[in-house]
Chains A and B, each alone.
Chain A
């Protein structure tokens, strides 16, 4: 085909597609047709222009001299112009000018602090306190016999459903298989365990449970945690155990927390291991 014909054809396709696009839109729209027609409208025009440029424009090679990007003479003249004695002589004032500008900049930057609260204690504590019942997503308290072996369930402190930092996975294992760290012997009534659901790596919800190997698995970067051994990490980038929630059964047979998690929950931060949290919490 002759290039002229080709260009005309491409432009024609473009016009028709644009018209069709309007019709489709008015008729109610359809994402696939719209994309197709818009593509054809743009593509026809584009193809026509490109064919025109490559087949119908006969241009010779042009050569342009680069010329000098900079020159010594210009440089020294500019330096001379910069060198204003009334400025350079008063070095004391110049220094003060710089100092004043810096102070002003700092003062102007301060309102950035309104962007967020100071972390304070919030990273060290959750809403769990001794005596809080464990409730499911609908707010119903949970009995140990309702917890099914092999499955996981998300619970919150009573009255705090949805509190992100308090989310806890509840699961049941054979009490005889438990190897919890010293001091946690009482934390698993009837083999029911509560762990923070927030991965200690980067905070994803640890929602998958491999019952055969007693491991909680984080889908984000595949860290795994051994629930029999106090949430110790067994694979992946997480290095700290999942904090465990101390629980017992209250006199009405419901699960209650006997305190906050064994450690601060979630991703690590520099003073996580300091006793700053405990000091002020008590």
Chain B
């Protein structure tokens, strides 16, 4: 009470506090996905700060003299050496590193699943298009964070990722070589790249992410939560539990539990054992080389794409260009613009605060399923060599099957999802509230 008064007299916060504490949160498990992503980010910042204090972003060669016997006396980069030190000599260093890495994997996963929830329930519709776009930007930034972080240990595996990134960059017509040389500071491999990745990873990208999260949440607060229909929920109200105390407790609990799960994983499940991979060496690559899961789809696209170096008027379009630049460009472009594309297709420009069940909008559900399967197949293709070993067949066979599957599976899956949605709809029709003005018919059109 005294504290509140002190602040209120200086800032006039009592009214805001009252409103904030009474803010209503609709209750649905799927609304926790975004929170999990946020909490992973909090944990990433906390563990990352610890790691930053010991990491050395430098590729000067040093002789390894630490306790890990197999590498003793070997020449490694200062960056790699510092990661080895974090893993073997800094107390609590290894657990922090592993929690950080697991948190990164879960972070991207949570962002992706959260985005899927938003997509399939139509939460991106007017007035929430802006927040959808910010969300897509956050997803891209999260991928950037993952990639730059993954590259910092300067081990054999991360070097391979950088090399491929360089090749994709250089493949861009006309400007590729300039872009690649500017980004890497010369022809791969370059000395300076580690310190550049470090600045991106610990300063620039997290700074932008924090600003974006701020905007994401501010817009959410301003527009208030969308909610599922049913009960007293309507387009003009929000039905749920007030922020204080229940929702606040649950959120804090979720933060702690997210931290708990990541701690268990970080302590008990080994990840990215850079001492096994060895330091980066331009003439060696480990096989089978697997990137972190969220890069798998890009890797898969590169693997599936046919040998196709086309030449237009003497200008070479190297084969990494289409899977490495064009496909992701189109994918993220479509994703960003989807709210507007859908509004154009349906002619629906109304405000929507009530969410759809996926079955309510078969065409969207079909398209979303197809897109999901497309990325899934690409991700699987990213491990075609692992699959070949698993099933004991030639890698070529796996690749050829997947080259067909990449078209067939999304198409069939999308149609199937469309079908199922319609069937579920007729089985259990949604009782539409009065405020819903538009209704879809079974073909996905409007009545």
Contact = CB atoms under 8 A, between A and B. Distances in A.
Contacts of A34: 92, 95, 267
A167 B283 contact: yes
B332 interface: no
Interface residues of A, number: 76
B246 A57 contact: yes
A66 interface: yes
Interface residues of B, number: 99
A239 to B, nearest CB: 4
A270 B239 contact: no
Contact of A42 (B184, B260, B307): B260
Given A63-B232, A69-B223, A239-B319, A31 B95 contact: yes
Given A167-B282, A219-B288, A202 B320 contact: yes
Contacts of A221: 299, 302-303
A31 B307 contact: no
B236 A204 contact: no
A43 B256 CA distance: 6
Contacts of B308: 237, 239
Nearest to A168: B283
Interface stretch (B2-10, B175-183, B203-211, B337-345): B175-183
A267 B320 contact: yes
B98 to A, nearest CB: 7
B314 to A, nearest CB: 6
Interface in A49-79: 49-50, 52-54, 57, 59, 61-66, 69
Interface stretch (B66-74, B116-124, B185-193, B362-370): B185-193
B92 A29 contact: yes
Given A202-B302, A219-B287, A269-B318, A42 B256 contact: yes
Interface in B22-65: 22-24
Given A202-B167, A220-B285, A35 B320 contact: no
Contacts of A197: 283
Given A32-B267, A233-B307, A269-B170, A61 B240 contact: yes
B263 interface: yes
B17 interface: no
Contact of A271 (B95, B166, B315, B399): B315
B98 A31 contact: yes
A204 B164 contact: yes
A49 B253 contact: yes
B256 A59 contact: no
Given A66-B238, A237-B306, A237-B307, A38 B267 contact: yes
A201 B178 contact: no
B186 A35 contact: no
Contacts of A235: 396, 399
A119 B250 CA distance: 55
A94 B314 CA distance: 44
B267 A64 contact: no
A43 to B, nearest CB: 3
B181 A118 contact: yes
Contacts of B314: 271, 273-274
A53 B170 contact: no
A260 to B, nearest CB: 15
Contacts of A207: 283-285, 287
Nearest to B97: A31
Contacts of A274: 314
Contact of B309 (A50, A219, A239): A239
Contact of A69 (B127, B240, B282): B127
A47, A66, A197, A223: residue with the most chain B Cβ atoms closer than 10 Å? A66
**Residue of B183, B237, B260 with highest tally of chain A CB at under 10 A:** B260
A123 B91 CA distance: 45
Interface in A1-58: 25, 28-29, 31-36, 38-43, 45-50, 52-54, 57
14 contacts: A31-B94, A33-B267, A34-B267, A38-B263, A42-B256, A53-B246, A61-B232, A116-B184, A221-B302, A222-B303, A233-B307, A238-B307, A267-B320, A268-B318
Closest 7 CB pairs of A and B: A35-B267, A268-B318, A46-B256, A219-B287, A43-B260, A267-B167, A53-B249
